[in-house]
Amino acid sequence: MAIQLLILGVLLLVIPVFVGGIFSDVDGMRGGLVFRWVSGQFLLWAGFQFISVPLIIRERNFSQLVWGFWLYMAALMLMAAGRGIRQIQRRVPASLVKGGGKGKQVSEMLFWAIFTGLLLFQLVQAVRLAYADGDDAYYVAISAMTQDADTMYLKIAYTGETTMLNFRHSLAPFPIWIAFLARVSGIQAVTVAQVILPVVLIAMSYGIFYLLGVRLFPEKGGQLPLFLIFTEILVLFGDYSFYTAENFMIARSRQGKAALGNIVLPFLLLLLLIFMKKLQEAERVPVWCYLLIGAVATTACLCSTLGALLICMAVGVAGLSAAVCYKRFRCLVPLAICCIPCICYALLYLLLAD
């Protein structure tokens, strides 16, 4: 089990951080290691979506997808390594973690301690508590079947009967990504989905809140951990209805729609924040920002078929608002290009799904 967990650790932490090295010198690397982790994971997710959907539609084996995704990961790691070598040659200090604990006030240390304590509490609860959600009977069963039978969406999740390809769900193959993790690590898909992924994805959500906090409170040290504590309180007391993103984050984190609401959309908000700040400062919006918005758009489609609509709405409204407010209408073109994956998957959905 220890080796299997180690493999998952490499897949979910080490490789994304390494791949995120592609963005290691962007925007002064605010957010450091966390930014690398999240952006690297988004590149991996986007690639998984691009590789998996054609293979699923053509009813290919899961093993072929596994090999294809390994090749993609290897290519990304080579690119990241190439960038790393170039940085060393340019003698750019590869500092991963910004700042340090120098000069921190007692109150700030206390806030960080409270934040860490609350985060650990949620991660422990994710392992200790089970949440009975009927949708798992579909999503987790799809992951388990894919790991076992080597076919994708060709069996009915509820009964195990062989069936025609389920187009509606196959366009958002987040459960297949879970099956990939299960296949490579050798841990049963149900354990990966119900126990390990919630820990990683909840931590990633707070990682994105941290990145937002870094940009919202650039120079006020103590306010960042305080902001994170408030996000934690809002999440912990976010069960005011069954539909809230916070409920999905804590209770149903292994489902793609939970990742959409708590990882994809907050990360998009962060990228739009960077985008608008650049417009405000009359600077050129960097290519990496658009590349990541594109990766976010593709990941949204991996998580949920509704992701395409939500991303197009968010990017469209934010882009138009920014264009009007800053009178920079040319910025709408690259934003529209970023939404092309969403439009393609939405069209596929309308054409193929029953």
Examine residue 212 and tell whether it contacts another protein (CB under 8 A).
yes
Joined together, the tokens standing for residue 313 give 């709405």
Binding test (CB under 8 A) with another protein, winner from 17, 272, 291, 297: 272
Of the ranges 3-11, 30-38, 43-51, 237-245, which one interacts with another protein (CB under 8 A)?
237-245
Of the ranges 46-54, 61-69, 216-224, 329-337, which one interacts with another protein (CB under 8 A)?
216-224
How far from 53 is each of 83, 170, 205, 213, CA to CA, in Å? 29, 7, 26, 35
Q: Which is nearer to another protein, 48 or 267 (CB)?
A: 267
Examine residue 245 and tell whether it contacts another protein (CB under 8 A).
yes
Q: What is the 3-state secondary structure (H, E, C) of 162-201?
A: ECCCCHHHHCCCHHHHHHHHHHHHCCCHHHHHHHHHHHHH
Could you tell me which of 199, 331, 179 has the C-alpha nearest to residue 253? 199
Restricting to residues 160-199, name those near another protein by CB under 8 A. Answer: 160-161, 188, 190-191, 193-195
Least spacing, CB of residue 341 vs another protein, in Å: 18
Examine residue 43 and tell whether it contacts another protein (CB under 8 A).
no
Examine residue 310 and tell whether it contacts another protein (CB under 8 A).
yes
209 Cβ neighbours under 8 A, 6+ residues apart: 227, 228, 231, 266
Restricting to residues 102-161, name those near another protein by CB under 8 A. Answer: 125, 127-134, 136-138, 140-141, 144-145, 147-149, 156-161
Examine residue 265 and tell whether it contacts another protein (CB under 8 A).
yes
Least spacing, CB of residue 233 vs another protein, in Å: 5
DSSP class of residue 274 equals H
Distance between CA atoms of residues 163 and 225, nearest Å: 51
- Give the SS3 label for residue 316: helix
Distance between CA atoms of residues 142 and 160, nearest Å: 10
For 223-226, which contacts have Cβ atoms below 8 Å and span 24 or more sequence positions? Answer: 225/108, 225/111, 225/112, 225/114, 225/115, 226/111
Least spacing, CB of residue 319 vs another protein, in Å: 10
Could you tell me which of 329, 319, 310, 228 has the C-alpha nearest to residue 272? 319
Q: Which is nearer to another protein, 18 or 112 (CB)?
A: 112
Distance between CA atoms of residues 253 and 35, nearest Å: 21
Examine residue 55 and tell whether it contacts another protein (CB under 8 A).
no
Binding test (CB under 8 A) with another protein, winner from 101, 241, 283, 327: 241
Binding test (CB under 8 A) with another protein, winner from 8, 12, 176, 322: 322
Distance between CA atoms of residues 290 and 286, nearest Å: 7
Examine residue 284 and tell whether it contacts another protein (CB under 8 A).
no
Examine residue 234 and tell whether it contacts another protein (CB under 8 A).
yes
Examine residue 77 and tell whether it contacts another protein (CB under 8 A).
no
Q: Which is nearer to another protein, 61 or 280 (CB)?
A: 280
Least spacing, CB of residue 313 vs another protein, in Å: 6
Examine residue 10 and tell whether it contacts another protein (CB under 8 A).
no
Task: Give yes or no for a contact between 331 and 322, defined as CB atoms under 8 angstroms apart.
Answer: yes
Examine residue 325 and tell whether it contacts another protein (CB under 8 A).
yes
